[in-house]
Amino acid sequence: MEYKIKKTKAPGRDEVELLGATFEEGKPEGEDMGKWRQKLDSREERLKYLENGERYFYSQEWFGSEKRKNPA
């Protein structure tokens, strides 16, 4: 990971160097703005997301309120 150094003025001191944010900016800009699905790069990642993120429909194990139910 590359650390970003930000220079800023501090009270009672001259310019100081601060370690910048390492997280992804919360406001993406441009064409991809809001298109979260593009974060998944490969077919493997996409299938994994379906199994976990969309577990209600695609988990290997049944999830939630229907877990205890007999198959329809």
Partner 1 sequence: MAEEKETKSIDQGTLELIEKAAKEGVNTTFDRAESIKACPIGSVGSCCKHCGMGPCRVPLPKGKEETPEDKKKRRGVCGATAETIAARNFIRMIAGGAAAHSDHGRGVAELFLEVAKGGAPGYEIKDEQKLLQVALDLGVEIGERSNNEIAADIGRIALGEYGKQAGELITLRKAPLKRQELWRKLGVAPRGIDREIVEIMHRTHIGVDQDYKSLLKQGVRTALADGWGGSLMATDLQDILFGTPAPILGQANLGVLEEGEVNIIIHGHEPLLSEMIVTVAQEPEMIKLAKSKGAKGINLSGMCCTANEILMRHGVPIAGNFLQQELAIVTGAVDAMVVDVQCIMQSVQTVAECYHTKIITTSPKARIPGATHVEFDEHDALKSAREIVKTAIENFPNRKGNIHIPDNKTDQIAGFSHETINYLLGGMFRASYRPLNDNIINGRIRGVAGVVGCNNARTKHNEAHITMVKELIKNDVLVLTTGCNAIACAEAGLLVPEAAKQFAGKGLAEVCETVGIPPVLHMGSCVDNSRILIAATAMVKDGGLGDDISDLPVAGAAPEWMSEKAISIGQYFVASGVYTVFGVTWPTTGSKEVTDYLFKDMEEMLGGMWAFEPDPIKAAHLMIAHIDKKRKALGIDQARERVLYDMDMRRELDAV
Closer to partner 1 by CB, 6 or 39: give it: 39
The helix, strand and coil proportions of the chain, stated in percent and rounded to the nearest 5, come to 30, 15, 55
Q: How many residues does the chain have?
A: 72
Under rule CB under 8 A, residue 17 binds partner 1: no
What is the nearest approach in angstroms of partner 1 to the Cβ of residue 1? Answer: 18
Burial class (CB in 10 A: 0-12, 13-18, 19+), 67: exposed
- Identify which of residues 6 and 46 has a Cβ nearer to partner 1 in the complex: 46
Q: State yes or no: residue 23 binds partner 1 (CB under 8 A).
A: no
The answer to whether residue 28 forms part of the interface with partner 1 (CB under 8 A) is no
